[in-house]
Amino acid sequence: MGTGIPLVLLIFLSVVALNSSKSQDESGYMVDHTHKVIRQAMMIEAAAVDMETGMRGFLLAGQQEFLEPYNNGRARFNELVSKLQNTVDDNPAQVQRLSEIQNNINDWLNNVTEPAIGLRREIGDAKTMDDMADLVGQARGKVYFDKFREQIATFIERENELLRSRRESTRQTSIEAYQTISDLETNNTWVNHTHEVIRLSLDLTGAAVDMETGMRGFLLAGKNTFLEPYNSGRERFFELSKALKEKVSDNPIQVSRIVAIEKNIQNWNKNITEPAIAERRRVNSGALTMDYIADLVGQARGKQYFDRFRGQIGQFISEEEKLIIERTNESKQSFEAMNVAINELNEASKWVEHTHKVIGQALDIQAAAVDMETGMRGYLLAGRPEFLEPYDQGFENFNRILDVQKKTVSDNPAQVQLLDEIKATISEWRQEVTEPAILLRSQIGDAKTMNDMAKLVGEARGKVYFDKFRGQIAEFINIEQNLMTQRQATADSAAQSTSFTIIVGTLIAVVIGAIVSWIVLRSIMQPVEKVAEGLSQLADGDLTVRISVDSNDELGKMSENFNQAVSKTNEAMAEVLVTTNQVAEGTVQIAKTSEQMAVDLDHQSEQVEHISTSIDEMMQSVAEVAKQSTDATNSAKEAGVTANSGGDIVRNTIHGMSSINEAVMASSKSVAELGKRGTEIGDIINVINDIAEQTNLLALNAAIEAARAGEAGRGFAVVADEVRTLADRTTTATEEIAQSIEAIQNETKLAVNRMDAGTTHVEEGVELAGRAGTSLEDIVAGAEAVASMIDSIAAASEEQANASAAVRESVVTVSEVSKNANSQASDAASSARELSSQTEKLKSLVSQFKVSA
């Protein structure tokens, strides 16, 4: 709508300019027609003058060759009148005047010229005018006048050649103007066509986005209602692609791009969306878990198809935008060329008018010369001074018109030179012919032997007819000149009307275009501001924002897709937050357990050291028993007491190691559970990454809409860039989180391995402690038998010393195992604290988003 009205106005202006050009052509044709009529009328007048001139020459000289102008003029007169009647057949009044002119000349011929010619033939040579007859018979003036006629004919022919050239130029300019207007209309049609192609391309992109949005929604929720955008978008996509192929059927390259886009989306459906939807249905039936779907989505196999689609549709739209720029420039050039053609047409019309004026003045010069000759011959016949009036007046008119003519053709040096030559010819003719003849006739006086002829001529009967003829032809020419003036005024009015219409129409187009643009911008800006506000809040991390745009256009669809994407992102972020809290609690519990285990191991180490000290003391006692047999009984009792104490300590050691073994196994389970939680967080991070891609796609759509909105969408484009930047930051953050979780999983596996090794060592310590307990029981038995087996004190003491050494070695081993377990417990606590730190970092990242409960 916004571009349609200015284009319609532009077409309207083109039609107005075309009609005005046609009107100018018609007016120019009629003006040219009038000039042609006036020229033919002057030719009729010249033919009549030739008749009179020839007749008077014959009356003077009585020689037959002087009648040639008369006979030729008479034949040409009738032919020209008949031709002119055909030319002005659209004007009955002028046709009637021509008939009256012809009747008047016929009366003159019948009543004046033919009787005079007959009388002159009867008279023969006038003996008393021999000198005059000889002078006239030499036809010296004919040489000059023939030269003059040739010169004036050359002058007129040159102007006629210029007239033909300028008419052809005018015709070519008119053809170019019509062609320019046709090109302008064609370019406007193609500009509208390209706008329609771009609109269909954006709708095609929206359909593809609906397909992807619907598919992702179904993969997340598993409800068939989420497939409605997918199914409707798929159906609409292929309908739009078919319409696009028909629209750009004149451009095979663009058609091939649409075919490639169709094939790419078909492969995406076949290889990605349909299998993914089928697997999600299996999840609904219980055959698969969501972990499988998360792994499938995490592979991002569909991304390559959609990235290819974005590149293809972007290239397609870019080519159409180039075509819009080219065709708009062609329209501007055509419009400028049309203005140039109209100006050239006006200029050519002026030059045609100029040429007609020059030809008319040339005929006036010729008529003035003929008047001079006619007056001179009339005087030579009658000898009366009043017959010299046409001669004198003709000479005055000749000089005046010739001077004006020289100024008129001052742009043509060749014509100016020819006019100078014409003036020189007439001057020489006057000097060599007319002035001597007039002088001679004034000296002769009345020709007594030609009284009848003189009387006949003196009656001036022909003057009545010729004066009437001149009045009629002057009236005829005057009417045609008035018609020419009117038609020229019509042409000028048409030109002014064209300029006025174009200027006013252009102003109206600008005003209406501005009003329509303001209305369109206002209707676009309100939803765009809502979308921009929503995107701004989303950029701040608010996932509770929703956009309300009540429209069915691309902005409404984009708002609906935006709300769906934000809702899914909100749900995913909420799950991430819950899982993160659970992981944090687990890491705290692991840290506490590991710290408690480290305390127990420290206590066990102290007990082992006490055992080691007791064993050392026992060995000293045994040595003392070996040396002092007399004190064997007392020493044996003391050894028994010490052995019993050692047995208690060993049993306590075994019990402590069992506790350590249980704590280590519990820590191992907690760490394994922590590894599973880390895997779940990784799956959620993949979902967040997909949502970031969807947000990036929405930002791309927003940028496309902003580009369509033009200047008004520039702010919206900035917000769209911020959203795309946020999506990139989210992707980067999710990658960092994924790396942190992977590190946590690696540390967890290492902690599990270490705890498994600690468990093995603890089991070995329990076994060794059991052996130590058995040895101590043997010591007790030996000590009780010391009193009755004094004889075997040395051997028993030796065995006791050996057993004590073995016990000491076992205790040392237990001490080393305890230290290793303590170190592993410390490592587990450190890993738990690191995991807690990573969990807090994840919570910090998630806290950037505001989610609904």
Question: Phi/psi of residue 847, each to 5°?
Answer: -65, -15
| CATH number (domain holding residue 74) | 1.20.1440
Q: Please check whether residue 367 is in contact with residue 42, taking contact to mean a CB–CB distance below 8 angstroms.
A: yes
Question: pLDDT category, 765, cuts 50, 70, 90?
Answer: low
Mean pLDDT over 566-575 rounds to: 66
Among 446, 477, 504, the domain-final residue is 446
| Long-range contacts formed by 503-512: CB under 8 A, 24+ apart | 505/9, 505/12, 505/13, 505/16, 506/13, 508/9, 509/6, 509/9, 509/10, 509/13, 512/5, 512/6, 512/9
Q: What is the tens place of the pLDDT at every residue in 126-153? A: 444 555 556 565 555 667 768 878 888 8
Residue with the bigger pLDDT between 370 and 612: it is 370
Same-domain pairing of 105 and 217? no
Average pLDDT over residues 45-66: 83
CA 552 to chain centre: 24
Cα–Cα distance, 85 to 78 (Å, whole number): 11
3-state secondary structure of 850: strand
Reported as half-sphere exposure (CB side, CA atoms, 13 A), residue 596 has a value of 15
pLDDT at 115: 85
Q: Provide the domain count of the chain.
A: 3
Residue 12 lies in a domain: no
Instruction: Provide mean pLDDT across the span 541-564.
Output: 70
pLDDT computed for residue 775 by the predictor: 65
Nearest to 421 by CA among 158, 105, 693: 158
Residue 735 pLDDT exceeds 90: no
Most confident of 177-181, 261-265, 733-737: 261-265
pLDDT > 70? residue 524: no
Q: What is the pLDDT of residue 127?
A: 43
Reply yes or no on whether the pLDDT at 591 is more than 70.
no
Counting residues of the chain whose pLDDT is more than 90, the rounded percentage is: 18
User: Rounded distance, CA 62 to CA 55, Å?
Assistant: 10
Q: Look at the block and give the residue holding tokens 């006025």.
A: 500
Say whether pLDDT at 164 is over 80.
Answer: yes
Q: Which of 73-82, 237-246, 729-738 has the lowest mean pLDDT?
A: 729-738
Query: Do 249 and 182 fall into the same domain?
Result: yes
Q: What gap in Å lies between CA 111 and CA 282, rounded to an integer?
A: 125
Q: Sign of dihedral through CA atoms 403, 409, 411, 416?
A: negative
pLDDT tier for residue 540 given thresholds of 50, 70 and 90: low
Average pLDDT, the chain: 76
Highest mean pLDDT among 551-565, 719-733, 771-785: 719-733
Does residue 8 fall inside a structural domain? no
Residue 26 lies in a domain: no
Structural domain including 652 reads 554-846
> Quick one: pLDDT at residue 79?
93
pLDDT score for 851: 65
Question: What pLDDT is recorded for position 394?
Answer: 93
Query: Do residues 458 and 384 touch, judged by C-beta distance below 8 A?
Result: yes
Over residues 424-481, the pLDDT tens digits come to 999 999 898 888 888 888 887 754 445 555 555 555 555 566 677 678 777 777 787 7
Asked if pLDDT for residue 3 goes beyond 60, the answer is no
Between 283 and 495, the higher pLDDT residue: 283
Which residues, at least 6 apart from 546, have a Cβ–Cβ distance to it below 8 Å? 534, 563, 566
The CATH number covering residue 675 comes to 1.10.287.950
Percent over 70 (pLDDT), the chain: 63
User: Tell me: the pLDDT tens digits for 336-365?
Assistant: 877 777 787 778 778 888 888 899 899 999
Residue 41: band (very low, low, confident or very high) from pLDDT cuts 50, 70, 90 = confident
Does residue 263 lie within any of the structural domains?
Answer: yes
Q: How far apart are CA 16 and CA 181, in angstroms?
A: 10
Indicate if 565 and 592 belong to the same structural domain.
Answer: yes
pLDDT of amino acid 816 = 74
Residue 526 covered by a domain:
no
Give yes or no: residues 585 and 702 share one domain.
yes
Q: What is the pLDDT of residue 487?
A: 65
681-707 pLDDT per residue, tens: 677 667 677 776 777 677 667 767 776
- Report which of residues 709 and 219 the model is more confident about: 219
What's the confidence (pLDDT) of residue 331?
76
> Amino acid identity, residue 220?
L
Q: Which residue has the tokens 């005829």?
A: 476
Which of 562, 546, 543 shows the shortest CA–CA distance to 554? 562
Look at residues 239, 296, 247, 248 and name the one whose alpha carbon lies nearest to residue 272: 296
Asked whether residue 165 falls in the same domain as residue 47, the answer is: no
Instruction: Kindly state whether residues 108 and 139 are assigned to the same domain.
Output: no
Give yes or no: residues 481 and 393 share one domain: no
What does the pLDDT read at residue 128? 46
For residue 616, what pLDDT is reported?
72
| Residue 418 and residue 469 in one domain | no
Are the C-beta atoms of residues 192 and 327 closer than 8 Å to each other?
A: no
Residue 502 domain flag: no
Helix (H) or strand (E) holding 637: helix 632-709
Looking at residue 308, its pLDDT comes to: 92
Instruction: Tell whether 781 and 723 lie within a shared domain.
Output: yes
Band of residue 177 on the pLDDT scale cut at 50, 70, 90? confident
Same domain, 92 and 185: no
Kindly indicate the confidence band of residue 196, based on its pLDDT and cuts at 50, 70 and 90: very high
Interatomic CA distance for residues 311 and 675, integer angstroms = 40
Higher pLDDT, 274 or 670: 274
Greater confidence (307 vs 774) lies with 307
For the ranges 319-323, 455-459, 501-505, 732-736, the one whose mean pLDDT is highest: 319-323
What pLDDT is attached to residue 393?
94
pLDDT computed for residue 443 by the predictor:
80
Inform me whether the pLDDT recorded for 722 exceeds 80: no
Quickly state the pLDDT bin for 815 (edges 50, 70, 90). Answer: low
* 96 and 155, same domain (yes or no): no
Q: Are residues 361 and 456 in the same domain?
A: no
SS3 of 303-366: the string is HHHHHHHHHHHHHHHHHHHHHHHHHHHHHHHHHHHHHHHHHHHHHHHHHHHHHHHHHHHHHHHH
Any domain includes 169:
yes
Q: In this structure, is residue 669 part of a structural domain?
A: yes
Stronger pLDDT, 21 or 582, i.e. the higher one: 582
Most confident range (mean pLDDT) of 18-32, 60-74, 330-344, 633-647 is: 60-74
